[in-house]
Amino acid sequence: MVDAETIANAGFKLSVDKIKNFEVRPDDIFLLTFPKSGTTWMKEILPLVMNGGDIDAITGTSRDVLVPYLEFQLSADDDPIMREVQKQMLIPDGFALDQLQSPRLLVSHLRSEFLPRAIEEKRVKVIYVARNPKDIAISSHYFVKAVQLCGIVDSNEPSQAKAYQDFSEFFPEFLVMKGIAQIVHYHGTRWHEHVLPWWERRHDRNVLFLKYEDMIQDLKACVRQIAKFMDVRLTDGAVDKIRDHCSFQSMKNNKMALKNTYCTNVLGVKAEEGSPFVRVGGVGLWKNTLTVAQNETFNEIYQEWIKGSDLEMTFEL
Ligand code: PPS
């Protein structure tokens, strides 16, 4: 169990109490994800579903304004690094969550215990996206290679000063969420601690539980599911438009989705390396990286993680 002190000390300084006491509106919609599970993808889809597929209406606006990160936004007042990060996410000075019109779309990577109390009390809508943890591990490793050079992590701290060029250096830390993994998954939460509480609540009326792999297989069906959950009527044409605009290829050419400014100025990612937010995409990427031994270790640990749960993830298509 990760306590409030750990969460406050890992990476960014999160304003734990402010987040817990955040005033939720009854019609807020929360997107919740374990990092690297398809957050950027959903941050493109949700505003479009909300506005009936009007792509022009979101062009030129930071996706971090359309769907702001709850924890980054609320912690920015107390943490200068976070304020700088917000700037590089193209969030205007003075931006505040209470300025947003209802219904607000908000996103968080926090596990359930650290979310605002009022989400549960007011039973506000939660869209949860889960991705298989092997592909998440690979995706996180690419992110780590970027962030370890960017100054967010402390280069005096031995576990953070490693090169992490090879997946084998990152893999053991990912499994237990220590070292740099704790920084990039900035609250040290392991995958199952994040996913399972929402899987258990998947039949609640205010919860929509989606899987990244289902989005890969049939994005149109997922867009329809999301619209129904959000009480939005979409024409067939609008569903097609959203599907096309949010395809991997289309998002690869979408500067706002790629978060180019943030990648260059915060993560220090070079243009030729490409954005870690829209990178390769797909299911089963881990097969190109995990050794037989690493895969066996992962399988054993994964079985422990999901023991007693009927959650089934798709690891390959
Ligand atoms: S983050 O840092 O937590 O916000 O990352 P997140 O956005 O959750 O996850 C990044 C991965 O999502 C992939 N992605 C997509 N896959 C399929 N289709 C679309 N349109 C799409 N957009 C983003 C992205 O490539 C990252 O996965 P990997 O495996 O690294 O490619």
Runs of H (alpha helix) within 201-291: 212-217, 219-229, 236-245, 248-252, 255-258, 260-262
So where are the chain's domains?
A: 4-305
Q: Is residue 135 lining ligand 1, measured as CB closer than 6 Å?
A: yes
pLDDT at 8: 40
**CA 10 to ligand 1 centroid distance, Å:** 23
Instruction: Compute and round to an integer the Cα radius of gyration of the chain.
Output: 19
Write the CATH number of the domain with boundaries 4-305: 3.40.50.300
Give the Å distance between the CA of 122 and the centre of ligand 1: 30
Q: How far apart, in whole angstroms, are the C-alpha atoms of residue 206 and residue 192?
A: 21
Question: Is the CB of residue 74 less than 8 Å from the CB of residue 19?
Answer: yes
pLDDT of amino acid 141: 92
pLDDT at 88: 85
Predicted TM-score (pTM) above 0.75: yes
**Residue 4: what pLDDT?**
45
Looking at residue 154, what is its pLDDT?
55
| pLDDT at residue 10, as a whole number | 45
Give distance in angstroms: CA of 39 to centre of ligand 1. Answer: 7
Asked whether 266 lines ligand 1 (CB < 6 A), one says no
Residue with tokens 């950027």: 40
Which amino acid residue places its CA nearest to atom 23 of ligand 1?
Answer: 278
Give the residue, by CA position, lying nearest to ligand 1 atom 17: 281
User: Looking at ligand 1, which atom is closest to the CA of residue 38?
Assistant: 8
Q: Which pLDDT score, from 0 to 100, does residue 273 have?
A: 78
Cβ of 256 closer than 6 Å to ligand 1, yes or no, is no
Measured distance CA(229)–CA(224) in Å, rounded = 9
The residue ranges of the chain whose pLDDT is under 50 are: 1-10
Distance 121 CA to ligand 1 centre (A): 31
- List of residues 6+ apart from 77 with CB closer than 8 A: 15, 83
Q: Assign 234 to helix, strand or coil.
A: coil
